Amino acid sequence: METFESDDGHVLVRLDRGDMALESLTDACEDHDVDTGVVVSGIGTFSNLNIHYVDRTDLPEDQTDRNADLRLDGSWEVTNVGGIVADGEPHLHVTAFDGERTVGGHLEAGCEVNVLGEFTVRKLDDLSLHREPGEHDISQLQRR
């Protein structure tokens, strides 16, 4: 991983083969003091894709029954990653294609970069956010 920071608060993150996407982005946020920010772009390829998505509308209280987890092997062309950093923790969504299907969802740990990854994080120094459980125990952004 290599990072570059502009004078106006943009952090560009280059991930190389073998880097772990979410883990590296979390490290980059820590290294560049990104407490609150926005991941405005992300592209690359992963050699595996770990995501979850909400697969129902009734939202049971037990969160383990709300999500479908996908652990997908093979080469995945990542066409977009975006999300918000709150309290230094990225909450990201991804869209990816393996040559046959397109999938999307919440990016989970364990996604290994296959060829490259390029991400842009925009620091928001004038705003301080964190997440707290809200209705149905859903993590919601709150001003700190």
**Domains assigned to the chain:** 2-143 (3.30.1330.80)
Is residue 12 pLDDT above 70, yes or no? yes
Residues 6+ apart with CB under 8 A from 7: none
Please return the burial class of 32, using the count of CB atoms within 10 Å of its CB with bins 0-12, 13-18 and 19+. Answer: middle
- Quote the pLDDT of residue 57: 79
Rounded Cα distance between 24 and 29, Å, is 9
Average pLDDT of the chain, as a whole number: 94
Q: How confident is the model at residue 134 (pLDDT cuts 50, 70, 90)?
A: confident
| Max CA distance (Å), the chain | 46
pLDDT (tens digit per residue) in 65-85: 678 899 999 999 999 999 999
- Give the pairing type, strands 102-107 and 129-133: unpaired
pTM score, whole prediction: 0.92
